[in-house]
A and B are shown apart, each in its own frame.
Chain A
Amino acid sequence: MNDNAMVERWNIIDSAAMAVAVESVLYRLTKNKPLPFDVDEALKNGIGFLEEAQNGGAIICGEPESSEFTGTLTPLVWSTNIYINSGPSEVGMYKKVVATLKSYRDLLEKIRKEQIKELSSENDIDTANNAYRFFHELAGELMKQADPVTESYSHQI
């Protein structure tokens, strides 16, 4: 009766896989290495995740971009955790989180659309390095939570 369970689109397992895959793409791009087999899927999922986090953040700021947000705030919460880990919380934090997520999303969209295999502009390289660190941290956090061993730790009665 109240034991229903819906696996969300941005669940821990898919999100951890997405973060690892995007991290891998960004690393290879910044090091001029051949891109992985799943580059398109990684970019598509990365963009989807950032979009949901960014839209959630816009609602918290009271500035939603559209009137049809059907997602949850979970991607925003995870993203904000990573943002806060990189520095203390501050005034206007959510606006900065949204702006940062947007810059990452713009970069991923550009890479996907233009099928970029090597970054040339200083600005893009800088954003790619920051985005790489973001997805690296996110992957680490989510992999911890998704670990099947951790899941079975609980022996509560």
Chain B
Amino acid sequence: MTPSDLTRVYYQIENEIESYRNELNKLSVPNYPSETCRELIIDLFEKLKGYEETLSKIMEDANDQDEKIVEQSLQKLITKIHIPLVREDTKFLNWLYKAQTKNVPWSFVHCVERLFQQIVPNQKLLIYCENQYNYGICWSKSETIAPYPYYVLSFPRLHKTNVLWHAVVGHEIFHPRCSEFINRHNQNVLTNITGEVTKNYEKFATTGASENSFTKKRDRIDSMTNVTHTAWCRATEELLSDMACVEIFGPAAILAMKAFSACSPKNDRPDPDNHFYPSWQYRFEIVWDNFIEDKLCKLDHVYSEIKNNDIVRCFKEDMLEIKCLVEKKEGEDLVKKHPLAKIAYQEVQNLILDAVDFVKDNTQDVLKWHDEKTLSQIPKLVGRLENGIPPNESVAEINEQEGIYNTHPAAIPAILISGWMYETYWQEKFNADEADERVMTYKTLSRLILKACEDIETIKKSQQCQS
């Protein structure tokens, strides 16, 4: 290691910072659907300044003939600036490009931001579309590694305008809240897991079944416990997030999950290859039993108010299909097939009732599908969709002669449930041998719902201005 090696890396990193700044300048030009991206760009410029200061300080410190000190300074340049910048901060460049107005379901962005603020207050959310078949959210507990301090939510790009599926953002948005629950139970669970893993370890070790494998690092008790603990954390997070999504959007969430998972195996057993994720079947069972079954009767009044009986019939048939699916209870048996999954999921099941309470406590401020206000809007919104009108408002009273225009902006859960009710009807009518020409295409349905989402933000802003 020579000082010239250090200088070479210094210049390389200086160039990387300069190139990053140029990229940010280019990204400052396009339109974004909300202010978050502009704030992010400003924050990133500041971060680059921080890197430049660290760069100078490391080089000042390296002013020594000791070869070890030169080497350590080089390693500091790499670990404090080069790796975070090229490996992590460059992700922001991708996210910003994919967050531009033309690349996202911009009419829906404000609704998601509003919901996020209710669940994770005072934090910043960046929304973009990723070229993958999945929704996702990422955030950072580190104060240096991206996406700190942002939360970054991705939609599947090919389903950008498929707004009925976007009910699952309720799931993604709840992920950051799960650490509170996990931390609360962490030590007890970890102690239980350690005990169970040690028992298993000793059982195998005494029988000599795989004596050699236990000398390998990956089969140590700490590694096995770490894997099992991670499996518990992941399963708990997924299930808590599913619960929150279904608590907010109810049948719209269930139908969106079902549609999204239609091309995936339902009974994939949790194991190391799939990072111990719970199967879809198990997830449906958990949310149905704890959040849907006892509240479905609340829809009875809604059904009686909807004028088109076919819509009600189609929707009920779809819900019944899901009920039959979950009653098989295949998911619960399957999660215990792998020995480590069995340990992790036993801990999950021990805490299910606490999890249900936690989700209810942490969604108190959000308007939910089973609230009276939401339920009362659904029949009117279904009626608007049938007439090709965006399901954006619930009209209480209109009298043009007297200038009375008393309406309420529709609630997002009401919009999505009415959309899904129409979708179940659309499936039957549009796919019938003799398609009913009065039934709109799925694309038109999606556009009407997106328009409604855009409108309710305008109505809310206008009402806020008036008040």
Contact = CB atoms under 8 A, between A and B. Distances in A.
Pick the most buried of B60, B79, B83: most chain A CB atoms within 10 A of its CB. Answer: B79
A36 B84 CA distance: 21
Contacts of A147: 83
Assign chain A's interface to a size class: 35 or more
B139 A7 contact: yes
B418 interface: no
Nearest to B190: A59
Interface in B125-142: 132, 134-142
B80 A17 contact: yes
Contact of B79 (A17, A76, A81, A151): A17
B223 interface: yes
A4 interface: yes
Assign chain B's interface to a size class: 35 or more
Pick the most buried of A1, A9, A59, A73: most chain B CB atoms within 10 A of its CB. Answer: A1
A131 B233 CA distance: 32
A136 B256 CA distance: 50
A56 interface: yes
A37 B237 contact: no
B313 interface: no
A87 to B, nearest CB: 14
Chain B, interface SS category: helix
Interface stretch (B62-70, B300-308, B366-374, B390-398): B62-70
B75 A139 contact: yes
Contacts of A20: 72, 75-76, 79
Interface string B180-213: 0011001100110011000000000000000000
B148 interface: yes
A148 B134 CA distance: 24
A85 to B, nearest CB: 9
A54 interface: no
A134 interface: no
B186 A69 contact: yes
Contact of B66 (A3, A5, A11, A33): A33
B277 interface: yes
Contacts of A5: 136, 138
Pick the most buried of A70, A73, A94, A148: most chain B CB atoms within 10 A of its CB. Answer: A73
B168 interface: yes
A60 B198 CA distance: 9
Interface stretch (B40-48, B98-106, B214-222): B214-222
Contacts of B84: 13, 17
A16 B72 CA distance: 12
Nearest to A19: B79
Contacts of B190: 59, 69, 73
23 contacts: A3-B134, A5-B136, A7-B138, A7-B142, A7-B145, A9-B141, A14-B142, A17-B80, A21-B80, A27-B72, A37-B57, A37-B58, A37-B61, A38-B76, A60-B194, A67-B187, A68-B187, A73-B226, A73-B229, A76-B226, A81-B217, A146-B79, A151-B87
Interface of A: 1-9, 11, 13-14, 16-17, 20-21, 23-24, 27-28, 31, 33, 36-38, 56-57, 59-60, 62, 64, 67-74, 76-77, 80-81, 84, 89, 94, 139, 143, 146-148, 151
Given A1-B261, A6-B176, 8 more contacts: A1-B135, A3-B136, A3-B154, A4-B138, A24-B73, A37-B61, A64-B191, A80-B222
